[in-house]
Amino acid sequence: MKHQLSKSTFMRGVKCEKSLYLNKHKKELRDELTIQQQAIFSQGSKVGELAQGLFPGGIDLSPASFYDFGPSIEATSEAIKNQAPIIYEAAFLFDGVLAAMDILVKTEAGYSAYEVKSSTEVKEVYLQDVALQAYVIESCGVKLADISIVYINNQYVKNGPIDIKELFCVESVVDQLQPFLVNVPQQINQFRTVLASTTAPAIEIGMQCQLPYACDFMEHCWKAVPEYSVFNLSRLSRKKCFELYRKGIVFLSEIPDNEELNVNQRMQIEAEKNKEPIIKHNEIERFVDELSYPIRHLDFETFGLAIPLLNQCKPYQQVVFQYSIHTQQHPNERPAHFEFLAETSQQTDFRKELIEQLIKDCGDSGDILVYNISFEKAKLLDLAMAFPEYEASLRGIVSRLKDLMEPFMKRWYYLPEMKGSYSIKKVLPAIDPDFENAYQELEISDGASANLIFGQILDGTFIEATESVRENLLKYCELDTLAMVRILNKLNKLAYS
């Protein structure tokens, strides 16, 4: 059974008709699926499977192939004819539009429908999503008594086996669907017209490219936007960026002097125009003079899963699984390196071992430098709450934290090459060109990838060899703290030059 539109393509059309067209006729232009996106899809599948436990004993009508829903549609029709009490992945086809509902439960008033999301709230885009499903299902002659969205309860705290009734929230949205339902037939006809066209709709880039989620044709649609443009102006709202772009202002140097901007934004523009660094020696000197040696450069890596694996953790809570420390006894000294990476071969809670080694590696004197203090501080306090026997030692570490990001965030030191960012991955190559390609050469080159890969290893969905991944995780985390050493060495030189 062929279909012209599915729920996913319908929602693509709602977001952007150009994306809908390209997805049908120019699939080769689609951006490559990232590790993060793959992990998100995998996590969504696990959440959907777990949510079936809210209504146990159903029949699973998932298609054997994503490209052939015919058998699933026929099986669904037969199951409903036989008044099956619970159906998972029920598939329906009406007038060339395909919809699949995660869970259907038979009631005296008809079927109650449940759409499962791995989000922690009901979003407007979900209402549009289930409105299309409701339209197709009821057009197939199935009466829906109620429609609910099942989502993650972010206040749930795991304590022993997962309690799915506590993990999930179930919210009826049937009363909110009417404004969306009335437009569905017209939208379907419009999207059919788009798909039948010989040319893509002339839609300019805009807010829809990244809201409510990033489009997978951005690389194609944004190819006319230079790598460094008004969209890189620090902390400028996306709406304001597009206002400038619509006026033909693409480069920072083209922004008028009378444009209302904050001090840091204006500083970024002037640095780009003049191609000159901004160095506030007094502030930098004060910063380095207030540091107490030995200095330990600390960086955490964390993971967060929708379904928490460890006790005393909430859904999506970021849990420390790795750290790197470079210790300098004196300024500009070659550092000693210490590291920890949790074992995954045994399904045990590794946090105690991490805490004990961290306390040892941090010693009891000197400052501990981090890059973005709010993150490491929050993670240390999370550990202290979960393991109160170590609270005093962990709070002692917190009291010694200082933020290496401060000189760059406050623009005491700014180079045009930083392109408005104070991310360590922009700062490091700008001040130390030898490190320009350091991150690009790594197999794992960003915290988001490290987060998702480790989470997949733990929950059993990672399919590659884990030993090589462990090596890559260690290299990445070590580079972050080595970068901090190089940055501090540079600040020391600037302070006294």
Question: Residue 463: its pLDDT value, please?
Answer: 62
Whole-number Å distance between alpha carbons of 32 and 216: 8
Poorest-pLDDT segment among 144-153, 174-183, 217-226, 465-474: 465-474
pLDDT band at 347 (very low <50, low <70, confident <90, very high): low
| pLDDT per position as a tens digit, 45-55 | 899 999 999 99
**102 or 446, greater pLDDT:** 102
**489 or 460, greater pLDDT:** 489
Question: Residue 147: its pLDDT value, please?
Answer: 98
Burial tier of 283 (Cβ tally within 10 Å: 0-12, 13-18, 19+): middle
Q: Specify the 3-state DSSP secondary structure of 430.
A: helix
Name the residue with tokens 């790598």: 227
**155 or 468, greater pLDDT:** 155
The structure tokens listed for 478 are 């070590």
Question: Residue 93: its pLDDT value, please?
Answer: 96
Report in angstroms the alpha-carbon separations of 186 from 20, 179, 181, 192, 246: 16, 13, 10, 10, 30
Task: Give this prediction's pTM.
Answer: 0.91
Question: Residue 86: its pLDDT value, please?
Answer: 98
Q: Collect all residues with Cβ–Cβ distance below 8 Å to 458 and sequence separation of at least 6.
A: 303, 305, 309, 344
Query: Strand (E) positions, 62-153?
Result: 86-94, 97-107, 110-116, 144-152
High-pLDDT (> 90) share of the chain, % = 80
Q: Are strands 319-328 and 295-303 parallel, antiparallel or unpaired?
A: antiparallel
Whole-number Å distance between alpha carbons of 456 and 466: 10
pLDDT at 100 over 70: yes
pLDDT at 440 over 80: no
Q: At what angle do helices 35-51 and 447-459 cross, to 10 degrees?
A: 40
pLDDT band at 465 (very low <50, low <70, confident <90, very high): low
pLDDT band at 255 (very low <50, low <70, confident <90, very high): very high
3-state helix vs strand vs coil in the chain, percent to 5: 45, 15, 35
pLDDT at 437 over 80: no
The structure tokens listed for 310 are 């460890």
pLDDT at 445 over 70: no
Question: Residue 127: its pLDDT value, please?
Answer: 97
Average pLDDT, the chain: 93
**Residue 298: DSSP 8-state:** E
Whole-number Å distance between alpha carbons of 494 and 455: 41
Poorest-pLDDT segment among 32-36, 86-90, 185-189, 255-259: 32-36
pLDDT band at 453 (very low <50, low <70, confident <90, very high): confident
pLDDT at 125 over 80: yes
Question: Residue 33: its pLDDT value, please?
Answer: 78
Q: Are strands 110-116 and 144-152 parallel, antiparallel or unpaired?
A: parallel
Burial tier of 199 (Cβ tally within 10 Å: 0-12, 13-18, 19+): exposed
| pLDDT per position as a tens digit, 204-250 | 999 999 999 999 999 999 999 999 999 999 999 999 999 999 999 99
Question: Residue 40: its pLDDT value, please?
Answer: 74
Phi first, then psi, for residue 14 (nearest 5°) are -60, -40
Residue 497: CB atoms within 10 A of its CB come to: 9
Would you list the DSSP string of 332-401?
A: TPPPEEEEEE---SS-S--HHHHHHHHHHHH-SSS-EEESSHHHHHHHHHHHHHH-GGGHHHHHHHHHTE
Whole-number Å distance between alpha carbons of 107 and 89: 18
High-pLDDT (> 70) share of the chain, % = 97
Question: Residue 67: its pLDDT value, please?
Answer: 76
3-state DSSP of 452-466: HHHHHHHHCCCCCCH
pLDDT at 464 over 70: no
Question: Residue 412: its pLDDT value, please?
Answer: 95
pLDDT at 443 over 80: no
pLDDT band at 68 (very low <50, low <70, confident <90, very high): confident
pLDDT at 18 over 70: yes
Question: Residue 468: its pLDDT value, please?
Answer: 80
pLDDT at 466 over 90: no
Q: Are strands 86-94 and 59-60 parallel, antiparallel or unpaired?
A: parallel
Mean pLDDT in residue range 105-125: 96
Whole-number Å distance between alpha carbons of 323 and 345: 19
Q: Which residue type does 20 have?
A: L
